[in-house]
Amino acid sequence: MTGLLDHALAHWATTTPDAEAVRFAARSFSYAELNIAAEAVSARLIREGVRPGDRVAIHAAKSFDTIASVFGVLRAGGVYVPVDPAAPKARIKTILRDCGVRIVLADPRRAAALDGMTFVPVVAMASALAEEYEADPVPRTSTDLAYILYTSGSTGTPKGICHTHRSGLAYARMSAKLCGLRRSDRVSHHTPLHFDMSIFDIFATIEAGATIIVISEMHTKMPASLSQLVEAEAVTVWYSVPFAMAQLVSHGALDKRDLSSLRVVMFAGEVMQPRVLRDFATHAPEAELLNAYGPTETNHCLTARIDHASLDGVTALPIGLPDEGIEMRVAHDGELLIKGDQIMAGYWNELTRTRDAFDGRYYKTGDIVTRRVDGQVMLVGRDDRQVKLRGFRVELDEVERVLSSLPGIEEVAVVTDKSGETLNAYYAGHPSPSELLGHAAAHLPSYMVPAEAIQREALHRTSTGKLDRRRIVEFGDDRSAA
C-alpha cells in the first residue's frame, strides 16, 4: 500500500478547497483552511527541532485546532501521541517519558496544567497555528510510525500501541468503504483523540472528502444537548461507544428529535446491550446498524450488519465477519486471531510483549469467540473475563447481558469480589437490588447468579466511555463511590 495518512487532506485542499472539512462550535472550516493550519503546525514543529520519527504529544480537548495539530505532526514527519485530556499529571509524565516525547502541543487549559514539567517543552497550539510557514517537505515512507496510542495493560501500566502510516491508512480506507463514505457525509467525532475510534472519525472522513462534526466535551456529557446537536448538524454517520447511545436512549430526549439524517450508526469499544440498540434504533429506523469489533492493536477488523427486524432486545449481537483485507482464524481454545495490513507495528519499546502478542503474523486478541452456522462470529468474552466459581466456568459478559435485559437498567458491571470467589453486580437504574437478583435467578443457572446487587447512581467509566472494572472492584466496598 502506498500513500500517507495526510495525503488525502492535501488532495482535497487542492481539488475542493472550499469544501467543508470540519465543523466545530457552530463554525465551519474548509479543506484549504485545515491544510493551511496543518502546514503552520508542521513548520513550527520543524523550527522547534522536531525531526522524522520524533514523538510529539497532543494534550488537548477535541477541536479544529487539535485536528490541525494531528495533521501538522504527520507533515513534520513526527509521530503523534495523544494524551487523555483528563489524565492525572503522574500518568501524563509516565507516557511522555516512556516514549521520549520531543515536544507537547497543548490547548491553553492543558498548557497551564503542565506548568513545571520542564523535562519537555510545551507549545501552545494557538501559537503554532499562527506560524508563518515555510518548510521543505520531509521525506517519509508508509512504514514510518504515524501515531502511538496508550492504553492500560492488565496490570494498569500504560502500553504504547504503535501504528504506521500503512496500518492507519489501511484502516481508514477499509472503514470509509465499509460505511460508503462520500463527500456529502457529516461524520461525528465523538470519542477523544487518545481513543482508537478517533482514527475513523478523522482519517476515514478526510479520506472520503467528507465533513468531521466535532462533538465537544460538554456535549458528550449532556445527552439532551448531544441529540440536539446531531439533529442541528444533520449528522449522517454516527460512531461511538455503546454507553453514549445508552445515555441518549435514557436521557437524550430522542422522542423530541429528528434523527432522520442518520444513514449509518456504528458502535464499538465494548459489548452493546441488545435492549439499548433496539431502543435507539426506533429513533433512526432508516440507519444501517454496524457492530464494529477490534482491539486498538488491530483497529476495528470485524463488522456485523444488524437487521432492524432482528432486534428483540434480548438476543446477543454478533460481531460479524472479517472486514476487507482481514484474515482471521480461531485457535483451539477459541481465541480469535487476526491478520491484515491494519494491524499495529508493535508495542513501544517492548519487544518481548510484541513477540508474545503474535502467533506468526496473527495478532492474538485474547477474545474468545464461536461461529454461528451462518458464519457470523459471536463474542463469548475475554479470556480474562472467564472465571471459575465452585467448579463452574462463568462468562461474566453473559451475566451482564442477562442483567441488562431487565427494563430500567441503565448500566451494569458484574465482577468478582477481591477474594475472587463471589460474583457481585454493580448497576445504575430504577429496579431494586432484589428485583435485579430475581431477574438473574429467573434467567441464569444458580451458580451464575450474583451474590449481591449494589445500586449506584453511576458506574466508574474510563475517559473513553468504557466500564472501568478495575475501579469498580477497587471501590466495591464503598457504597457511596460512583
- Our CA angle for 23, 27, 28, nearest 5°, is 55
- Cell 429496579 belongs to 431
pLDDT of residue 461: 87
H helices of 260-348, where?
274-281
More confident residue, 127 or 236: 236
DSSP state of 383: G
Question: Mean pLDDT score of the chain, rounded to an integer?
Answer: 91
**Cβ contacts of 68 within 8 Å, gap of 6 or more:** 34, 37, 38, 40, 41, 125, 129
What's the CA gap between 364 and 359, in Å, rounded? 7
Question: 3-state DSSP call for residue 317?
Answer: coil
Residue 36: Cβ within 10 Å count:
16
What's the CA gap between 279 and 412, in Å, rounded? 17
Q: Answer whether residue 307 shows pLDDT above 60.
A: yes
Q: Answer whether residue 390 shows pLDDT above 70.
A: no
CA distances from 437 to 371, 406, 440, 446, 456 (A): 30, 10, 5, 11, 15
What's the CA gap between 102 and 381, in Å, rounded? 39
What's the CA gap between 172 and 97, in Å, rounded? 29
Answer whether 283's CB lies under 8 Å from 306's CB: no
Maximum distance among all Cα pairs of the chain, rounded to whole angstroms: 70
Interval 99-115 mean pLDDT: 91
pLDDT of residue 277: 97
Distance of CA 103 to the CA centre of its chain: 25
Grid coordinates belonging to 141: 515512507
**Cβ contacts of 303 within 8 Å, gap of 6 or more:** 178, 290, 291, 292, 293, 319, 320, 321, 323
419 confidence band (pLDDT: 50, 70, 90): low
Interval 94-109 mean pLDDT: 94
Does an H or E element contain 173, and which? helix 165-178
Left, alpha or beta for 118 (phi > 0: left; psi -120 to 50: alpha)? alpha
DSSP state of 420: S
The percent of residues above 70 in pLDDT, for the chain, comes to 94
Residue 214: Cβ within 10 Å count:
23
Beta bridge partners of 386: 395
Q: Answer whether residue 13 shows pLDDT above 90.
A: yes
What's the CA gap between 251 and 246, in Å, rounded? 8
Angle, to 10 degrees, between the axis of helix 223-232 and the axis of helix 242-251? Answer: 100
Domain ranges, ordered by start, for the chain: 7-371, 390-474
Beta bridge partners of 461: 467
User: What is the second-level CATH architecture of the domain 390-474?
Assistant: 2-Layer Sandwich (3.30)
- Closest by Cα among 364, 398, 365 to 381: 398
Angle, to 10 degrees, between the axis of helix 64-75 and the axis of helix 31-47? Answer: 60
Highest mean pLDDT among 86-90, 371-375, 463-467, 468-472: 371-375
pLDDT of residue 118: 64
More confident residue, 266 or 109: 266
Answer whether 252's CB lies under 8 Å from 223's CB: yes
| Domain 7-371 superfamily per CATH | ANL, N-terminal domain (3.40.50.12780)
